[in-house]
Amino acid sequence: MRTLVLIVITMLNVKQNTAQNHSNINVDSNKYDKILNPIEVKFLYSYYEQDGDHSPVLGGMGSEYLTDHVGKLTVTVPVNESSITFSVGIDHYTSASTDNINPASISSASIVDDRIYFNAGISQKINDWTVGVNAGYSTEWDVTSYSGGFSVSKLFNNENTELSLAYQHYSDKWALIFPVELRRGVPIDSSDWRSIHDGAIVFSQVLSRRAQLALSSGIIIQNGLLATPFHRVYFQDQRFPKTEALPRNRNKIPIGLRLNYYVSDFLIARLYYRYYFDNFDIRASTIDLELPIKTIPFLTLSPFYRFHKQSSSKYFNPIDTHLSSQKFYSSDYDLSAFTSHKIGIGIRYAPVGGILCRNRNNNKTQMATWKKVEGRYATYQRSDGLSAYIFSLSATFNLK
């Protein structure tokens, strides 16, 4: 809440400064020109679909079919050396898996739901420094979340070196929705909480005219409700299931290395490697490769591939293999050992003068310019049988 108040106060000060700059246009025309930098508006739509046969709602068996439509609008307003960003979005999803929380019900809030979210942030450039703050809110059928954070970056060595720090905090309130057969004695309006502290540090260095290297690390600390209340677990020594049980603390540490190499005027190689470990005993390695290729002027094709391999959490076991005497247990295959492959292609069209736009006409400048359009498609396969695909399309406009 304090972060949100700070953003509102800062934005009010920006409005006041803007009004003063307008009134002093003849005194400082350079400052006024900076205010007239174009406003950027970006529309994004994506569709995601998955299926599998290890639903954690049913204890590690059953359909994992899910669809998700995402719509998002982001507006970035430059003011002097500041940048104010607003984004609002909605996720509309259907899930046959979560509807099995109560299989006897014809329909429930869990089978079709909408997640609505809003974020706002402001960044300020001061010489070689850039600082920013942000705040956000989201709500869906069983979770209400508030977030806030800040970022700081500094340029060194004639802007060939950059050090960035960022922190984000999430505070979530979870409605405790249990499987229908496990609800006896549980108040209807019972809830729990989860807090997430996400810190990151990135060091980037220009190695040559062709190569840039970035090293990143961080820590994610989760406290509170980490088990999903409507995930069932079935045991080998008793017939009746229990709801998933996990510790109320989890620490995640990712370490990343990114290398961008300019091969030619038509090709850039982007390589990324990440090693991950946490106190659930998961160890994982991820490799990303993307090759943006300029085919014709202003048109870029970007084939990409991602490989991921992870070990199993010490709390995971398949259905009917846990012992009821265990303190923690889960049959969620996201915590299992698996390998995955993601392959896809992106296409980006961004001509210098904009798309389908005219130049100056009758000494008047066009108020809106369609700057670029991007599309991406990817398929995902996991060794436990989960498969998915995702398609996204975005369009970016500049307003003057």
Mean of pLDDT values over 272-286: 98
Mean of pLDDT values over 103-109: 56
pLDDT for residue 32: 38
Mean of pLDDT values over 87-91: 97
Interval 170-197: pLDDT, tens? 999 999 999 999 988 788 889 999 999 9
Q: Hunting for tokens 């006024």 — which residue is that?
A: 32
**How far apart, in whole angstroms, are the C-alpha atoms of residue 124 and residue 80?**
9
pLDDT for residue 102: 78
Spatial contact of 335 and 315, defined as CB atoms under 8 Å apart? yes
pTM beyond cutoff 0.75: yes
Cα-Cα end-to-end distance for the chain: 33
Interval 117-150: pLDDT, tens? 999 999 999 999 999 999 999 999 899 999 999 9
pLDDT for residue 15: 33
pLDDT for residue 316: 98
Q: What SS3 class is residue 180?
A: helix
pLDDT for residue 14: 34
pLDDT above 90 coverage of the chain, percent: 77
> Of 387, 370, 369, which is closest to residue 378 (Cα–Cα)?
387
Reply yes or no on whether the pLDDT at 109 is more than 70.
no
pLDDT grade for 82, boundaries at 50, 70 and 90:
very high
pLDDT for residue 345: 98
pLDDT grade for 1, boundaries at 50, 70 and 90:
very low
Domain annotation for the chain: domains and CATH numbers = 2-399 (2.40.160.40)
174: its two tokens: 């979870």
User: Using CB atoms within 10 A of its CB, is residue 331 exposed (0-12), middle (13-18) or buried (19+)?
Assistant: buried
What is the rounded average pLDDT for all residues in the chain?
88
pLDDT for residue 368: 80
**How far apart, in whole angstroms, are the C-alpha atoms of residue 359 and residue 364?**
9
pLDDT grade for 217, boundaries at 50, 70 and 90:
very high
Mean of pLDDT values over 256-277: 96
